[in-house]
Structure 1
Amino acid sequence: MEITIIKSKNQYNAYLKRMHEIFDAKNGTPEGDELDLLALVIEKYEDEHYPIEAPDPIKVIQFMMEQMNMNKKGFGLVIKSQSRATEILKKKRPLTLAMIRRIHGHLGIPAEILIKDYKLAN
């Protein structure tokens, strides 16, 4: 199969079908090389046509708190302020760089997510 940049939905679907057919191909084989190339052009097409927005930082914090069975008091200990914890979770106050560093360290949320702008509540 000759692989080119994907220019249509039909071509995208054909490449997905072919990728599924050779999914278990071994590295270093012609089919393994074809699989690698298909993955690259499919990824490029999906990035352009089906972009995924970065999640809201506060929603990610709330999700991680839930996963870790952490309450607001626990979050307040992470950011070193109980009153700020409530304000942050209600989007009344933005995260500071120091908070982002602590949240990243304690909750494991990537800093790239935490630094994303988000709309504050009125």
Structure 2
Amino acid sequence: MTHTIDRNLYTKLLTQTAPKIIENQAEYEKVLTEIEELLFNPNRSIEENALYDLLVMLVEKYETENYPLDVAKPYEILQHLMEARSINDSDLLNIFGSQEIITAIKKGNYPINTFQAQALADYFHVSPHLFL
């Protein structure tokens, strides 16, 4: 079933909110407040969902430009996944073959190869690209 946005209601919401590219911290915080109000509204309309999506996109753009994230290194992702899932080095011996290789990889001294990346992806149920 396709839901159709009521153009009049959506226009009214847009007029009230007046969304635009976020240019400073004050505007950023104002939009976050608007998003929070929409987020915690259990009876959001289709039009409010559309506004919510638009505001989230504006926040993501601002955050990407002003708060860039460092790209995690493959060994950092591996360490995080192991910690989050309470995985020990010994659980990964069948993938890496030896404790020495696991230790070297976790320290960032040895790269994860394509075969290992695929095996890790299968093990953790994630994309192998995380490890390459």
Kept in 2: contact 1:88–1:94 (CA 8 A): yes
The equivalent position to 2:52 in structure 1, one of 35, 42, 54, is: 35
Q: 1:69 to 1:16 in 2, by over 3 A?
A: closer
Count of residues in correspondence between the two structures? 113
Which amino acid in structure 1 is aligned with residue 111 of structure 2?
P
CA gap of 1:9–1:89, structure 2 versus 1, over 3 A, is closer
Cα separation, 2, equivalents of 1:70 and 1:18:
40
CA distance in 1, matches of 2:38, 2:106: 46
Letter in 2 for 1:26: R
* Residue identity opposite 1:55 in structure 2: A
* Structure with greater proportional helix content: 2
The answer for the alignment partner of 2:71 in structure 1 is 54
* Ranges in structure 1 where 5+ consecutive residues have no aligned partner: 116-122
Shift of 1:53: 2.0
Letter in 2 for 1:74: D
Cα gap change, 1:68 to 1:8, in 2 (>3 Å)? closer
Q: Which runs of 5+ in 2 are unaligned?
A: 1-16
**Aligned equivalent of 2:82:** 65
Structure 1 residue 101: deviation in Å?
0.7
- Distance, in Å, in 2 between the alignment partners of 1:12 and 1:89 is 37
Percent identity of equivalent pairs = 22
Determine the structure 2 residue equivalent to 1:95: 112
Provide TM-score, normalisation by structure 2.
0.70
